[in-house]
Structure 1
Amino acid sequence: MNRGKKRMLTKGRAATAQAKRSYNESYNRGYNQGYDLGHDQGYRNGWQAGATSCSQAFQGTSIIIVTTNDQREHLQNCIESIYQYTPEPFEIIIIDNASTDDTESYLKSLTGKIRFKVFKSNLGFAGGTNQGLRMARGTTLLFLNNDTIVTKNWLSNMLACLHSNEKFGLVGPTTNYISGEQLVPTTYTSTEEMHRFAEQINRSNPSQWQVTGRLTGFCVLMRREMFEALGYLDEGFEIGNCEDDDYGFRARLMGYELVIAKDTFIHHVGSVSIKALGERFEEVYGKNLDFYSKKWGESHSLLAEVQRKLNGALATMNHFYPTGVVVRGVLPQPYWMENGIKRPIEGLSEALASSRVSQVDLRSWSLGDPIQIQEVLYRLEQLNSTATSAAPLQEGELAETPDHTVYQMKEGKMRRLNHWALTHWLLLERGKRQISYSELGSYEQGLPIIAPAVIVANNV
């Protein structure tokens, strides 16, 4: 072959590679623009490929990976292992939390079953994962740390476990580097040895499925229906740590079980993002522990109380929310929420205080007829004025016992609220009827009222 033909072949291959990269960049840009424009207002004005892709669910698993600085090599190893060891249908969604290395250019070079979104500020693990959940189309959803390497049969074994029991809410594997019951002692010293080690474990075996009280968030699988009932991760937890404990606790409150698939092993480098915090780690961890405590109080007794009241039944987060409150989702439109029905408020309601909920929470309530702002203000006034009444407690009214514990009457039952729930639902300043313990005892007590996950980003 002469030099001219060789140069033409080389140029042709370069042009083909550039075309693939351009297609991938256009696809991702189109998808993100299509989704952003279509969210809650129909998929319009987006690029056809992106809009069409995001509107069609598929029978497979959406693998959501959050990444940030100095982790590109880990991310590449993780992605390559997914392609090598995952014959099941899947898509990979990468959320880049403001990396300043070459992660963005690496993502733009990828083709195949990958979509990504790059953010200019760090949303934290919870915020980044929530963005991935928003983009996900799979019938099953999986959080996966970017510093993991998956192994043969990893996903099939976890799926078998998840689908074996409707009460299995969240499923996680074992690994070499983690806290808690998912830790397995290992001695391998290379990736090749690790895969041979994993082959001895990764043989589907229901006797190896263990119900646990805690799953760490390095790898968590759930059904889409579970996500619709449970909602997003709580973005009140900074950067990382404790948001996975919170998520698992909420799942258990709903009556679901957390399960370790001990017939599944994947490799975990471990705590790469957290270690990058350096001296800030203790500060961030302390804040997250404090937030968890304010949100849940004595969590063990709370869980035991809820489990007694559910008596084996399953609930959704909606069952733990109040009545007679004003809420809004990602859009400015406020709703009057009463007994599981949301009614769009019509009129000059811009100045009306409202509690922020996610789109998942908002969708969980049935849509009712519109209600005028004047009627909402009247109902709020009535709920405040009944605080001095001697009549039986009315639906939506608040009551306070001598120890300052606050309850709301909802569906004929007294529902307890802690300070965090009162604050989120804007009920701290609402009038409260003072009642004695004997009066409290004359009413049946229902499930406690809790606050939903904090949503910081404006589009979930």
Structure 2
Amino acid sequence: MIRKSDKNNPLVTIVIINYNTAEVTIDSINSIIENTLYEPYEIVIIDNASNSDDRDMLVRFASEKLITIYLQDENIGWNAGVNFGFDNADGDLLMTINSDVIVEKGWLTKMVDLYLNNENVAAVNANIHESGKSIISHKDGFLKILHGACSLISSDAWRIVGQLDSKNFRFYGTENDWSYRARSMGYKLILSKDSIVNHLGSSQITAGGGLSVRKTGKILDFLKMRLDGRIKYRIYNFNLKEWLSREILSEFKHAYLNGYLRILISTYIKVFFNFGNICSARKARILKRREGLRILSPDGKYQL
């Protein structure tokens, strides 16, 4: 459903990445169409070079529903797919939602209301449930990290904070990274407790948005990918005090007790070995933060 937007009813662009999961993606979109009371909104599909049968099914569906679909010539990955969708969106608010998410009645109205009625909000996260239970960690409704399975982001915040870092992150860590960058500029990330969506968990891991390595049994690949993203997020953003936090120290203890200490250490070495990349990534974040604080500060002053 699309109609003219205004400041009290901003247009929401919902971006869904598909990679060889057309049937699941169609189920997700049908749930959005059936359960979205808010308007105006539009749905945009990014297909990451799925096989011909999968793509043809999705193209036919998009044509029947009058949904915009972009067909990529190659699998550009989930992060780059979201960047492409957001950068080409018309919406004042930008929604990333996994292709295996089923939404409940009124989900989007509550998210938009929270955004409109709070100040300095970069993003609103839906209350994501898996197997009937919420998986979102929060404190009094405020989040440290978004869960990209269903996040509503201000287009202004997207412009100021910047894109997802598709260059350095395959999948894991990118939400942590963007969330940290947003909060470092003074933005808030909030949870819409009443916006319940159900995450089926079939496409949450892969870079392309298809069947997860966890579902296909590639547990070692899943672990390495997750550790790589977590370490990069910290190296690119953390100061010394944060590095020495109890959270990081407990990570090594957990790895030792659960038998993957060697993998954790080797991943740290691999990431640290690319020192030039670390310096470049940290410099880019510092400069972007300075720019963002300059834009957001009412008196033009900022602090590092």
Q: Same-fold call, TM > 0.5?
A: yes
Letter in 2 for 1:131: F
Q: CA separation in 2, counterparts of 1:300 and 1:61?
A: 38
Q: Tell me the CA shift for residue 243 of structure 1.
A: 0.7
**Cα gap change, 1:209/1:61 in structure 2, threshold over 3 Å: closer, same or farther?**
farther
Q: CA separation in 2, counterparts of 1:250 and 1:300?
A: 17
What is the SS of the residue equivalent to 2:129? coil
From 15, 26, 40, the equivalent of 1:89 is: 40
Q: In terms of Rg, which structure is larger?
A: 1
Q: Tell me the CA shift for residue 113 of structure 1.
A: 4.5
Matches within 5 A, 1:56-67: 59-67=10-18
Matched, 1:276 2:209: no
Contact 2:36 2:106 in 1 (8 A): yes
How big is each residue's C-alpha offset from its partner over 1:331-379, in whole Å with a ceiling of 9 and x where there is no partner?
xxxxxxxxxxxxxxxxxxxxxxxxxxxxxxxxxxxxxxxxxxxxxxxxx
From 57, 62, 80, the equivalent of 1:106 is: 57
**Cα gap change, 1:287/1:450 in structure 2, threshold over 3 Å: closer, same or farther?**
farther
Name 1:219's counterpart in structure 2. 150
Letter in 2 for 1:104: R
Name 2:198's counterpart in structure 1. 267
What is the SS of the residue equivalent to 2:286? coil
Contact 2:98 2:204 in 1 (8 A): no
Name 2:286's counterpart in structure 1. 449
Contact 2:143 2:189 in 1 (8 A): yes
What RMSD, in angstroms, separates the aligned Cα atoms of the two structures?
A: 3.3
Name 1:182's counterpart in structure 2. 136
**Cα gap change, 1:270/1:298 in structure 2, threshold over 3 Å: closer, same or farther?**
farther
What is the SS of the residue equivalent to 2:130? coil
What is the SS of the residue equivalent to 2:124? strand
What is the SS of the residue equivalent to 2:236? helix
Q: CA separation in 2, counterparts of 1:422 and 1:251?
A: 20
Name 1:160's counterpart in structure 2. 113
Equivalenced residue count is: 239
Name 2:232's counterpart in structure 1. 291
Q: Tell me the CA shift for residue 289 of structure 1.
A: 2.6
From 27, 44, 54, the equivalent of 1:77 is: 27
Q: CA separation in 2, counterparts of 1:225 and 1:217?
A: 18
Q: Tell me the CA shift for residue 286 of structure 1.
A: 3.0
Contact 2:173 2:233 in 1 (8 A): yes
What is the SS of the residue equivalent to 1:107? helix
Q: CA separation in 2, counterparts of 1:451 and 1:226?
A: 12
Q: CA separation in 1, counterparts of 2:160 and 2:145?
A: 19
What is the SS of the residue equivalent to 1:176? strand
Q: Tell me the CA shift for residue 139 of structure 1.
A: 1.2
Which structure has more RCO (C-alpha within 8 Å, separation ≥ 6)? 2
Letter in 2 for 1:118: L
Matched, 1:122 2:75: yes
Letter in 2 for 1:423: S
**Cα gap change, 1:237/1:419 in structure 2, threshold over 3 Å: closer, same or farther?**
closer
How big is each residue's C-alpha offset from its partner over 1:98-127, in whole Å with a ceiling of 9 and x where there is no partner?
212533112321234411112232222111
How big is each residue's C-alpha offset from its partner over 1:41-71, in whole Å with a ceiling of 9 and x where there is no partner?
xxxxxxxxxxxxxxx98841000111112x2
Contact 2:79 2:170 in 1 (8 A): yes
**Cα gap change, 1:238/1:421 in structure 2, threshold over 3 Å: closer, same or farther?**
closer
Contact 2:19 2:49 in 1 (8 A): yes
Letter in 2 for 1:165: N
Matches within 5 A, 1:190-209: none
How big is each residue's C-alpha offset from its partner over 1:355-412, in whole Å with a ceiling of 9 and x where there is no partner?
xxxxxxxxxxxxxxxxxxxxxxxxxxxxxxxxxxxxxxxxxxxxxxxxxxxxxxxxxx
Name 1:171's counterpart in structure 2. 124
Identity of aligned residues (%): 27
Name 1:455's counterpart in structure 2. none
Matches within 5 A, 1:414-429: 422-423=279-280
Q: CA separation in 2, counterparts of 1:227 and 1:294?
A: 22
**Cα gap change, 1:450/1:248 in structure 2, threshold over 3 Å: closer, same or farther?**
same
Letter in 2 for 1:260: L
Q: CA separation in 1, counterparts of 2:77 and 2:240?
A: 24
Contact 2:98 2:203 in 1 (8 A): no
If the length of structure 1 is used for normalisation, what is the TM-score? Answer: 0.47
Letter in 1 for 2:129: N
**Cα gap change, 1:300/1:73 in structure 2, threshold over 3 Å: closer, same or farther?**
farther
What is the SS of the residue equivalent to 1:449? helix
Q: Tell me the CA shift for residue 282 of structure 1.
A: 2.5
Contact 1:230 1:250 in 2 (8 A): yes
What is the SS of the residue equivalent to 2:29? helix
Name 1:24's counterpart in structure 2. none
**Cα gap change, 1:426/1:75 in structure 2, threshold over 3 Å: closer, same or farther?**
closer
Name 1:249's counterpart in structure 2. 180
What is the SS of the residue equivalent to 1:247? helix
Q: CA separation in 2, counterparts of 1:102 and 1:96?
A: 12
Q: CA separation in 2, counterparts of 1:139 and 1:240?
A: 25
Letter in 1 for 2:99: N
What is the SS of the residue equivalent to 1:276? coil
Q: Tell me the CA shift for residue 288 of structure 1.
A: 1.9
Name 1:143's counterpart in structure 2. 96
Runs of at least 5 residues in structure 2 that lack an aligned partner in the other structure? 206-210, 244-274, 290-304
Contact 2:26 2:58 in 1 (8 A): no
What is the SS of the residue equivalent to 1:152? coil
Contact 2:13 2:42 in 1 (8 A): yes
Contact 1:209 1:263 in 2 (8 A): no
Contact 1:72 1:102 in 2 (8 A): no
